């Protein structure tokens, strides 16, 4: 008959990731207050109550979604281990770009959550950013040096903001710029910017 609803019972892990994946997808097009728990529950084929059982409240769910997206980004853009600083930088940017291209929904819900949301969200975002920049400069600095001064940190941080903006802009509208051009530009930008900072 119509409306025969057999509830499907999953393991907590399965259900949790199902809801997080769905959240990532839905939050890539709407903002968080344009997404009602009602819609989410219907889309997932569950009751509202279940979402609260897993995440407590809406804000906590949103935070979990953003963290989920961030973890995915960090995991999938593994740090390059071979080559000099330049090569590692280039490979790191390529991996980052590839991730944004292949996982636009997840990336967008991460970016959206970060700026608009709470303090906790911004921390998650900063972690993700740090994972992209720090890993290149952790160890030896063969290729070019980055002095560890407040101004240099401002520059590197600013460069990361530039890279994020440029990558997203390009993915959303790549007309007129090739992938290699973009990567070369971003790779060249960092040493070029660092060079303008006084050594000490």
* 47 part of the interface to DNA, by CB under 7 A: yes
What the block records as the tokens of 191 is 């040493």
Distances (CA, A) of 176 to 52, 68, 163, 180, 200: 47, 33, 18, 12, 39
* 4 part of the interface to DNA, by CB under 7 A: no
Residue 182, classified by CB atoms within 10 Å of its CB into exposed (0-12), middle (13-18) or buried (19+), is buried
Give the residue with the Cβ less far from DNA, 10 or 177: 10
Under rule CB under 8 A, which residues in 24-53 are in contact with a copy of itself? 31-34
Q: Please, are residues 103 and 154 in contact by the beta-carbon 8 Å criterion?
A: no
* 56 part of the interface to a copy of itself, by CB under 8 A: no
* 170 part of the interface to a copy of itself, by CB under 8 A: yes
In the complex, the smallest distance separating the C-beta of residue 40 from a copy of itself, rounded to whole angstroms, is 15
Identify which range of 17-25, 37-45, 64-72, 184-192 contacts a copy of itself by CB under 8 A: 184-192
Among residues 65, 74, 56, 70, the alpha carbon closest in space to that of 30 is found at: 65
**Where do contacts with DNA occur on this chain (CB under 7 A)?**
5-12, 15, 33, 35-38, 45-50, 52-53, 56-59
């Amino acid at each position: 008959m119509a409306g025969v609803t057999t509830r499907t019972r999953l393991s907590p892990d399965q259900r949790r990731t199902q809801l997080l994946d769905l959240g990532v997808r839905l939050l890539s097009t709407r903002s968080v207050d344009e997404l009602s728990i009602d819609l989410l529950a219907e889309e997932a084929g569950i009751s509202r109550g279940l979402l609260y059982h897993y995440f407590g409240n809406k804000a906590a769910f949103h935070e979990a979604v953003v963290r989920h997206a961030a973890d995915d980004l960090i995991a999938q853009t593994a740090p390059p281990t071979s080559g000099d600083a330049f090569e590692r930088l280039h490979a790191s940017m390529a991996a980052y770009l590839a991730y944004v291209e292949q996982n636009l929904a997840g990336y967008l819900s991460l970016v959206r959550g970060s700026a608009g949301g709470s303090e906790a969200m911004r921390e998650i975002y900063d972690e993700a950013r740090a994972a992209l920049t720090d890993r290149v400069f952790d160890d030896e600095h063969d290729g070019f040096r980055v002095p560890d001064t407040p101004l240099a940190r401002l520059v590197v941080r600013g460069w990361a903001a530039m890279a994020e903006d440029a990558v997203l802009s390009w993915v959303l509208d790549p007309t007129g710029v090739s992938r290699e051009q973009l990567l070369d530009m971003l790779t060249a930008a960092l040493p070029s910017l660092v060079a303008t900072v006084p050594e000490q």
